[in-house]
């Protein structure tokens, strides 16, 4: 049973990567191959509420997120953004439902989530290479025992797509903020999830790093059948790259295109008042 | 006479050759996943396991100690998941309580001195049964490592990523806690309650200074652990001191040597 699962997992990885390689060779110019977004997949969050004791942290949040879109969630600190992410990840108990639906056939399937955290809390001087970290998360070949040549090549190919191929033998603790985020993004996208969840991924990264990161996300969105949710403080880049913006303050106080949200009363109240105070 | 002319030294040598690689392997994860305090607390709970065995009239003290430690570890994890206090605090509470209960029972009628050998450990009283138990524990450690290492490492790096990749976080954490419990209880009589954590942590800490990936880390940690064990045992024989502390001293020297190597290498 266990062995079958192991084989299956690796086979899945093989197929994805071969598919991509094939597409690369076929077109010659496309950076990534893969199944592009169909527009029929939707993640529905219905009346999601979270309480901590008697305090209501999230109150009836309802959202639909379509594949092929980059949805940015903004809001002030303590407004429930992190709790929303934890609920989607299944780490926090909630009322309501989160459903992954194919609206073409109206079928529901299990949601595969790829997660990129804000940062890792590694011990300093940790003897862990990028290969170790990636192989540990995506395969069952014991990382401490040997370096598997095939797996190494596959991970390297994968990292190259995210501009991180040269990092494979570096120690994770020696990476810069931007490099680490690209590595974590590679891991989150191998195998390709239905939903990519990014938690303030660009905080503490310089401007060039941030722009590169958003460009990669834009490519990713075009090339794969997945939805992206990004939690961010970065309003400028949000305006440039987001398809949809959701303002969360206990509940959804505004949603729509970046322009629509930025013109809303709720947005002004949350950010303009804050910046005047600050 | 050479030290191998004594039968008890031969047993001690075999025991060291089984214990040290086990500590070398397990120490890597204990250090990576910040569990040094946890393993220390488990070591201290040895008194209680022994005391409970005494009260219940269980003749095999290893059995009562291992069972108590497993209950201790799983209960501790359970309360940790409830998020009522930081992990440090929860461990402190458990550790203090179990040490107190153990000491209270063992010190009845002023008998504690009988058990004080547990504090420094005694590697020279190893029996063939002990050696069989250690061999089984080493096998269990290797099996757990082959099946769970990737997952455990992933949990240590970031629990949320681990969860999103389908790693059963709570199950793996409990398996590892039980493994630490078993290994610590089977070796604490030989290594000593006061020293055991040093033997578990030091080789891994030394290996970190000079390793660039997981394979080097495990290799150096095991080699350093076995080297400290053998050197410590031989020195303890000729200097007539307890083996546990001697091994810990050699391992500490290794730590500072590798630290120096790293500092020089950086320049």
CA–CA min distance B247, chain A (Å): 24
Q: Which of A127, A138, A193 sits opposite B214 (nearest CB)?
A: A127
Question: How much is the average pLDDT of A121-141?
Answer: 91
- The C-alpha angle with vertex B114 and arms to B111 and B117, in degrees rounded to 5, equals 140
Question: How much is the average pLDDT of B217-225?
Answer: 97
CA–CA min distance B257, chain A (Å): 16
For residues A211 and A247, is the Cβ–Cβ distance under 8 A? no
The model carries a pTM of 0.86
Q: Which of B35, B141, B149, B150 to mutate to test the interface with A (most CBs of A within 10 A)?
A: B150
CA gap B93, A217 in Å, rounded: 47
- pLDDT at position A2 over 50: no
Report residue B219: phi and psi, to 5°.
-60, -55
pLDDT value, residue B199: 94
CB contact under 8 A, B161 and A137: yes
Name the CATH superfamily for B3-192: ABC transporter involved in vitamin B12 uptake, BtuC (1.10.3470.10)
Is B218 in CB contact (< 8 Å) with chain A?
A: yes
CB contact under 8 A, A139 and B158: no
Number of domains in chain A: 1
- pLDDT at position A124 over 60: yes
Q: Which of B147, B154, B212 sits opposite A127 (nearest CB)?
A: B212
A179 belongs to a structural domain: no
Interface of B with A in 160-189 (CB under 8 A): 160-165
List the alpha helices (DSSP H) in chain B.
7-32, 36-44, 46-56, 61-81, 87-106, 117-120, 128-157, 159-164, 169-191, 196-210, 214-239, 243-266
**CATH code of residue A108:** 3.40.50.300
Is B149 in CB contact (< 8 Å) with chain A?
A: yes
- pLDDT at position A9 over 80: no
CB contact under 8 A, A131 and B207: no
Enumerate the domain spans of chain B.
Answer: 3-192
State whether residue B90 is helix, strand or coil.
helix
Q: What is the pLDDT of residues B8-43, one digit of tens each?
A: 889 999 999 999 999 999 999 999 988 999 999 999
According to DSSP, the β-strands at A70-74 and A244-249 are parallel
Closest chain A residue by Cα to residue B163: A89
According to DSSP, the β-strands at A195-199 and A55-66 are unpaired
- What are the tokens at A170? 């570096």
Contacts of residue B188, Cβ cutoff 8 Å, sequence gap at least 6: B43, B46, B65, B118, B121, B196
Q: What is the pLDDT of residues A195-238, one digit of tens each?
A: 999 988 877 788 888 888 888 888 888 888 888 999 887 777 77
Task: Give residue A108's domain range.
Answer: 35-112+193-277
What is the C-alpha end-to-end distance of chain B, expressed in Å?
47
A4 belongs to a structural domain: no
User: Taking the CA of residue B83 as centre, how many other CA atoms within 13 Å lie in the half-sphere pointing to its CB?
Assistant: 3
Is A143 in CB contact (< 8 Å) with chain B?
A: yes
pLDDT value, residue A29: 38
pLDDT value, residue A161: 86
Closest chain B residue by Cα to residue A89: B164
CA gap A221, A213 in Å, rounded: 12
A160 belongs to a structural domain: no
- Other Cβ atoms less than 10 A from the Cβ of B73: the count is 26
């Amino acid at each position: 049973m266990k062995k079958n699962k192991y084989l299956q997992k690796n086979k899945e990885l093989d197929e994805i990567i071969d598919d991509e390689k094939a597409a690369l060779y076929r077109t010659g110019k496309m950076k990534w191959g893969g199944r592009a977004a169909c527009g029929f997949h939707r993640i529905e969050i219905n009346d999601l509420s979270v309480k901590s004791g008697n305090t209501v942290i999230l109150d009836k949040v309802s959202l639909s997120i379509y594949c092929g879109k980059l949805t940015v969630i903004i809001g002030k600190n303590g407004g429930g953004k992190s709790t929303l992410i934890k609920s989607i990840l299944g780490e926090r108990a909630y009322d309501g439902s989160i459903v992954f639906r194919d609206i073409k056939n109206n079928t529901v399937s299990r949601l595969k989530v790829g997660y990129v955290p804000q940062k890792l809390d590694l011990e300093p001087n940790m003897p862990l290479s990028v290969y170790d970290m990636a192989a540990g998360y995506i395969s069952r070949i014991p990382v401490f025992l040997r370096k598997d040549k095939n797996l190494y090549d596959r991970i390297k190919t994968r990292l190259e797509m995210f501009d991180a191929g040269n990092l494979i033998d570096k120690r994770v603790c020696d990476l810069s903020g931007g490099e680490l985020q690209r590595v974590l993004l590679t891991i989150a996208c191998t195998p390709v999830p239905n939903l990519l969840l990014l938690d303030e991924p660009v905080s503490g990264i310089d401007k060039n790093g941030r722009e590169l990161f958003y460009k990669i996300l834009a490519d990713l969105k075009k090339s794969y059948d997945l939805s992206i949710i990004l939690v961010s403080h970065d309003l400028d880049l949000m305006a440039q790259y987001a398809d949809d913006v959701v303002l969360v303050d206990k509940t959804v106080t505004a949603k729509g295109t970046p322009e629509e949200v930025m013109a809303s009363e709720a947005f002004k109240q949350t950010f303009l008042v804050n910046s005047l105070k600050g | 006479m050479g030290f191998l002319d004594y039968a008890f030294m031969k047993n001690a040598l075999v025991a060291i050759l089984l214990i040290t690689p086990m500590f070398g392997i397990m120490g890597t994860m204990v250090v990576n996943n910040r569990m040094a305090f946890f393993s220390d607390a488990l070591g201290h709970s040895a008194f209680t396991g022994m005391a409970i065995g005494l009260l219940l009239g269980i003749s095999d003290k290893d059995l009562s100690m291992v069972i108590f430690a497993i209950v201790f570890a799983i209960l501790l994890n359970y309360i940790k998941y409830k998020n009522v206090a930081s992990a440090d605090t929860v461990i402190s509470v458990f550790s203090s309580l179990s040490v107190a209960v153990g000491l209270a029972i063992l010190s009845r009628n002023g008998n504690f001195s009988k058990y004080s050998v547990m504090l420094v450990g005694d590697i020279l009283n190893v029996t063939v049964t002990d050696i069989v138990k250690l061999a089984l524990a080493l096998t269990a450690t290797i099996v757990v490592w082959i099946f769970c290492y990737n997952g455990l490492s992933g949990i240590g790096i970031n629990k949320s990523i681990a969860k999103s990749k389908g790693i059963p976080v709570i199950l793996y954490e409990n398996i590892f806690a039980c493994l630490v419990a078993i290994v610590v209880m089977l070796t604490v009589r030989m290594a000593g309650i006061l020293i055991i954590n040093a033997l578990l942590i030091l080789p891994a800490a030394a290996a970190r200074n000079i390793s660039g990936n997981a394979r080097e880390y495990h290799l150096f940690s095991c080699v350093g652990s076995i080297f400290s064990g053998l050197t410590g045992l031989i020195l303890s024989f000729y200097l007539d001191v307890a083996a546990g502390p001697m091994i810990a001293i050699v391992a500490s020297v290794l730590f500072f040597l590798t630290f120096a190597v790293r500092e020089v290498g950086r320049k």
